[in-house]
Amino acid sequence: MKLLSVAIPCYNSAAYMRKSIESVLCGGDRVEILIIDDGSAKDDTLEIARSYEARYPGICRAIHQENGGHGEAVNTGIANASGLYFKVLDSDDRLDKEAFLQVLDKLSEYTGEKGSGEEPLDLFICNFVYDKVGQKRKRVMSYRSALPVDRVFAWKDAKRFVLGQYILMHSVIYRTELLRDCGLRLPDHTFYVDNIYVYYPLPYAKRLYYMDINLYRYFIGREDQSVHEEVMIGRIDQQLRVTRLMLEYYDLDKIQPAKLRKYMLSYLQIMMTISSVLAIRSGTAENMEKRDRLWSDLKEQDPKLYQKLRYSLLGIAMTRKNKLGNKTAELGYTIAQRIYGFN
């Protein structure tokens, strides 16, 4: 068994996927790199993937599938992974090589094998860096104020997450079998499913570890990037779909411990905020109606959750239908921008 499987979903990624792959190769035989071509048709993505498989047998695997979107590529990665742990790396992002080697060394202490002395972890968390084009000083999403550092802990040991401090896909390494056992299945042909990927398995994670190290470099700058504001507005229906799915997954009142329940509620709050902000920023009556329908459907389906989200600070800002409300909504936009980096 490999220590870590890294899935790299690729769709017409020939211009930048090599940097992503090269950043993982330093892991050597401890790592398998699943380069998943999601039906690319406009460039030689598949040929590049196959060239790495030929050059690094036993480390790189090229997997071709019919186009199913980012979520389906992640599903394929989970299904094919042979590593004890699993990480997703987008094809335009990269890992810091020095930090990556330190993470592998730490993970190797938690394998459950004879001599390791420690049972496997369920969730391993690191910082990530917003690698934004033209920005000299890169912003870091750190969790040192919210999570115990360099030790195994449970959710009850977590501290307070501040507004805008969220664990995203870039932050996490899950135990592979946990992802399979919890029944995670991301929807196909849908953007923004990385929120589901990090959110859905949270109640199943009992043994956590946070390493205060900047592992993931999250590239921001392409105009066609999924988190570019105009692109997100154009795909608002997909953002709404993901938000609706997340609202339906759990009865949060039954989630234990309380600190995990509070964090998951906060995550839903930011998902509702982003969906509402995009509708407001679009400036169209059609999208504002979609925003209102999202809130009204939640009120009908889960009145208790609606009350908690609607009457939070951000909820009040997102649902006011006047100039003051829209102005207040800029606060929500600022928070959403801080999390996703869109501009």
pLDDT band at 325 (very low <50, low <70, confident <90, very high): low
Which residues are 94's β-sheet partners? 217
Q: What is the pLDDT of residue 315?
A: 73
Specify the higher pLDDT residue, 136 or 84: 84
Tell me the C-alpha distance between 201 and 183, whole Å: 9
Which SS3 state, helix, strand or coil, does residue 169 take?
helix
Tell me if 84 sits within 8 A of 176, measured CB to CB: yes
Q: What is the pLDDT of residue 187?
A: 97
Tell me if 100 sits within 8 A of 25, measured CB to CB: no
**Range with the lowest mean pLDDT among 4-8, 138-142, 170-174, 260-264?**
138-142
Q: What is the pLDDT of residue 284?
A: 94
Q: What is the pLDDT of residue 152?
A: 97
Kindly list the structural domains of the chain, giving each domain's residue range(s) and its CATH number in brackets, ordered by start.
2-220 (3.90.550.10), 229-340 (no CATH)
Tell me if 215 sits within 8 A of 127, measured CB to CB: yes
Mean of pLDDT values over 97-108:
98
Element (H, E) at 73: helix 69-80
64-81 in b/e burial notation, b at 16+ Cβ within 10 A?
A: eeeebbbbbbbbbbbeeb
pLDDT band at 229 (very low <50, low <70, confident <90, very high): confident
Which residues are 220's β-sheet partners? 132
Structure tokens at 2: 């490999």
Residue at 256: amino acid letter = Q
Q: Is the pLDDT of residue 189 over 80?
A: yes
Q: What is the pLDDT of residue 320?
A: 65
Q: What is the pLDDT of residue 60?
A: 98
Q: Is the pLDDT of residue 153 over 90?
A: yes
- Residue 280: what are its φ and ψ, rounded to 5°? -65, -45
Q: Is the pLDDT of residue 336 over 80?
A: no
Mean residue pLDDT across the chain: 91
Q: Is the pLDDT of residue 341 over 70?
A: no
Q: What is the pLDDT of residue 142?
A: 96
Mean of pLDDT values over 330-335:
66
Mean of pLDDT values over 122-136:
90
Tell me the C-alpha distance between 251 and 142, whole Å: 29
